[in-house]
A and B are shown apart, each in its own frame.
Chain A
Amino acid sequence: KAGVTQTPRYLIKTRGQQVTLSCSPISGHRSVSWYQQTPGQGLQFLFEYFSETQRNKGNFPGRFSGRQFSNSRSEMNVSTLELGDSALYLCASSQTSFRDSGYEQYFGPGTRLTVT
């Protein structure tokens, strides 16, 4: 099976712009989660989608949003970019999102966003 794919891999944007990142999960996986990784804050959960519904949201401002399509592919959007949004954005997929399931998440290679 192909792994989780993320596009683009690298992105340079200017403050105030917006950006859309894309994630294709492993075939058959219906849950997609997004994480932000920075040297200062480490790995932080952004949100999770399952069956096109946001199940969980982390502590990020409303400038960060996402969606999931019927084929389980997901996008996240960051509007009005700030310098502090520079980070590696990781997408992860899992077989399920049911409570008390122990399925692991599989991560993509990430999108490196640089805001100048």
Chain B
Amino acid sequence: AQSVAQPEDQVNVAEGNPLTVKCTYSVSGNPYLFWYVQYPNRGLQFLLKYITGDNLVKGSYGFEAEFNKSQTSFHLKKPSALVSDSALYFCAVREGGYNKLIFGAGTRLAVHP
């Protein structure tokens, strides 16, 4: 079965510093990987995805993610964090065919002024 792990419950970053939110995956076959963000009392917003191709994927709001097949990782990054980036971030992998997503437990990002 496919799975993803987000090893950090919370990440604290100072505004203006680079941020990384970690995700590792376990899949059979080629992985379809996604990052979503959730703000309080809101649904999930799509940030970016890796399907195939370049290992560095660029997404919304200045976020990017690096796919690393040898380390089975898909870490989310941003060069300069904003206070408004503070939210709950989820990594997900598509299981099997169709549209079933398996989510990680989520990482709370806190960006301090």
Contact = CB atoms under 8 A, between A and B. Distances in A.
Interface of A: 4, 31, 33, 35, 42-45, 48, 50, 55-56, 58, 90, 92, 94, 97-100, 102-110
Interface string B91-105: 010001111111111
Nearest to B90: A43
Interface string B16-54: 000000000000000010101000011111100101100
B98 A55 contact: yes
Contacts of B43: 4, 90, 107-110
A55 B102 CA distance: 16
A97 B99 contact: yes
Contact of A94 (B52, B92, B96, B99): B99
Interface of B: 32, 34, 36, 41-46, 49, 51-52, 90, 92, 96-106
A35 B106 CA distance: 15
21 contacts: A4-B43, A31-B99, A42-B104, A43-B92, A43-B101, A43-B106, A44-B103, A45-B100, A45-B102, A56-B99, A58-B100, A90-B44, A92-B99, A98-B98, A99-B97, A102-B49, A102-B52, A104-B34, A107-B43, A107-B46, A108-B43
Task: Name the residue in A35, A43, A103 with the highest tally of chain B Cβ atoms < 10 Å from its Cβ.
Answer: A43
Given A42-B105, A42-B106, A90-B43, A107 B36 contact: yes
